[in-house]
Structure formats: C-alpha cells, structure tokens
Structure 1
C-alpha cells in the first residue's frame, strides 16, 4: 500500500509540473491583448492595427494614414474622433468595440496621436 501511495504521489507531482509548465507557456505565448495594461498602447497597436497601419501608414488606402498631416486633414487630430473611429470603424476599417474595452481603445488612440506627433519614430 505504501509503495502504491509513493507511485501515486510521484505521478501527481509530474502531472502538476506538466500542468504548470503548460499554463506558463500559454501565459507567455498566448497572452491576449486584453491583458495589456493601459500603458501598453504599442502592444495593442501592434496586435490590432499594425497589420493595416505599419509605422502609421495604410496598406489599404494610402491617403488615409496615421501621419499627423493626414490626421489633421481628415479631422482625427484629437482624442475623441480617434476613439470614435477605433470603436465604430469607417469605410474599409472595422470597428474594434467587440475586441477592445473602452480603456484599451483610449490607450490605442493616445498611442496613435503620440506617434503621429513624433512622426512615427
């Protein structure tokens, strides 16, 4: 009986170790963007926006970039309209209200405006 108990404990430790390693791997490699802190505008932008807007550009509509001159021309050079655009989308750009919460949307909007002010450097 004691031998069976020891074998059982050894298997439990190994199983616990594997479960822990798997959970750690998932946490590192599959960390969802919603887990990003409010200061992680760059992470959120990279996850949700950079596919179409690399370095503030626009691969779909070249004239609709995230560069300061373009944002000013189109009336997106303040926080409120950028938040609205990210939330609801417009034309070819989808809205992200289903994927991002209000804080994350505001964080991305602030990041975009900051980067535009710094010429996306």
Structure 2
C-alpha cells in the first residue's frame, strides 16, 4: 500500500473515534428542563397556564386535584394525555427529556 492510502485510513479512523467520543459526551450532559419545556410545551402552557383548557393549569394545586403529584405522573400524562393535548412519544421526547420537563414544571409552577 502506498503511504497516502495509509495516512488516509489513519485520518478516517481518528475522525471516527473522535466523533464517537463527542456523541458519548453529549449523552452525559444534563438536559435543561426549562429549554425543553419552552420547545415542547410553552405554546399551549405559557407561564404554566393552559390555552386549551384554562381550568387545567400546571400549578401544583391544579395538578394535585387531577391526580398528578410526581414527575412520573407528568410523564405519564405526556405519553397518554387527555383530549386536547399533544401526545409526546418517546421518539419525539426521550424519557430523560420528559423527566427534565416534569421536574421543571413541579419546581416552577407552584
């Protein structure tokens, strides 16, 4: 093999390993619940409200009155909502993103 082919293969291998390393770093990053909320939820729930059903806000007391008390309850609603709410499949909002959103909701809308 000539020297140029060997160098090209070495550079491609190095690039492949570097790219894989970057992907692993991104996976380990903490997900920003506020950013995810703004991206997926804020259109219908501005400031924790509800433009579709104003009686069902994201305030803790309203959530509790509807049987929603934990981040797991919120994620369950995201995955299987009632009428008027968009269903968020795992392929659209990962479990980690959904949990970050749910924890943000519980922390932010008291």
TM-score, normalised relative to structure 1: 0.62
State the number of aligned residues: 82
Give the Cα–Cα distance (whole angstroms) in 2 for the partners of residues 64 and 73 of structure 1.
9
Structure 1 runs of 4+ off > 6 angstroms? none
1:1-121 map, 5 Å: 37-97=29-89, 98-116=91-109, 119=110
Task: Report the CA distance between 1:74 and its aligned residue.
Answer: 0.5
Q: What displacement does 1:89 show? A: 2.2
What value does the CA root-mean-square deviation take over the aligned residues? 1.6
Shift of 1:38: 3.4
**Conservation of the 8 A alpha-carbon contact between 2:31 and 2:97:** no
Q: C-alpha displacement at 1:44, in angstroms?
A: 0.5
Q: Is the 8 A contact 1:79 1:110 kept in 2?
A: yes
Preserved contact between residue 53 and residue 65 of structure 1 (Cα < 8 Å): yes
